[in-house]
Amino acid sequence: MIRLALVAILGAASVSASASFALERAPAEVVTEIARTTKTATGQPIALPQGPVEVVASIYTLAPGARLPEHKHPFQRYAYVLEGELLVQQVDSSSRVYHAGEFVIESVDHWHFGATVGIVPVKLLVIDQLPPGGEVTVNRPAAQ
């Protein structure tokens, strides 16, 4: 009986020590790099405004079938696709579809538009870097 109790205690201590060791070995953080570049989606060098910079973080949700008007960004903008698929069409050149989990480094001062692809809404985490009080987006004036 005493031997059985001793075996049970040693077994419990061993399981406890193993669990404790496993917890200690788990990393405190895991970093997964999703993008690293020095250029925008159209090949421009990434440049930040000189002087004070304001950072604006926003969540954009675009309904299925949505198409944004033609617009441009006067300063650097980044977007992370949280959900859905987003078509970005550069007016005078290429287009690309970005999927959930991809990072968009938007062109600066190039006319383009975005549109959802498929039947799922697009959800974006958008980060702008601009002079304090600056405009994040300029819509293209209607042709007259």
In a domain, 107, yes or no: yes
What whole-number percentage of the chain has pLDDT above 70? Answer: 83
- Tell me if residue 96 falls in helix, strand or coil: strand
- Alpha carbon distance 5, 12 (integer Å): 11
What's the pLDDT at 93?
Answer: 87
Helix residue spans in the chain (DSSP H):
2-25
Q: In this predicted model, what pLDDT tens digit does every residue of 101-134 receive, in sequence order?
A: 999 999 999 999 999 999 999 999 999 999 999 9
- Return all residues near 58 (Cβ < 8 A) that are at least 6 apart: 125, 126, 127, 128
What's the pLDDT at 142?
Answer: 85
**What confidence category does residue 58 fall into, taking pLDDT thresholds of 50, 70 and 90?**
very high
Residue 20 has pLDDT above 60, yes or no: no
Instruction: Count up the domains in the chain and report the number.
Output: 1
- Alpha carbon distance 112, 24 (integer Å): 50
Residue 3 has pLDDT above 60, yes or no: no
> At 110, which CATH number?
2.60.120.10
- Return all residues near 47 (Cβ < 8 A) that are at least 6 apart: 76, 108
In a domain, 5, yes or no: no
**What confidence category does residue 2 fall into, taking pLDDT thresholds of 50, 70 and 90?**
low
**What confidence category does residue 4 fall into, taking pLDDT thresholds of 50, 70 and 90?**
very low
In a domain, 123, yes or no: yes
What's the pLDDT at 17?
Answer: 52
pLDDT, mean over the chain = 88
Numbers of helices and strands, H then E, in the chain: 1, 9
- Alpha carbon distance 98, 131 (integer Å): 28
In a domain, 33, yes or no: no
**What confidence category does residue 82 fall into, taking pLDDT thresholds of 50, 70 and 90?**
very high
User: Average pLDDT in the 82-106 region?
Assistant: 96
In a domain, 78, yes or no: yes
pTM: 0.78
142 token code pair: 């209607």
In a domain, 82, yes or no: yes
In a domain, 101, yes or no: yes
Residue 68, domain extent: 54-139
In a domain, 94, yes or no: yes
Residue 80 has pLDDT above 50, yes or no: yes
CA angle 36, 38, 44 (to 5 degrees): 135
Nearest to 81 by CA among 97, 63, 65: 97
CA angle 138, 73, 82 (to 5 degrees): 110
- Alpha carbon distance 47, 45 (integer Å): 6
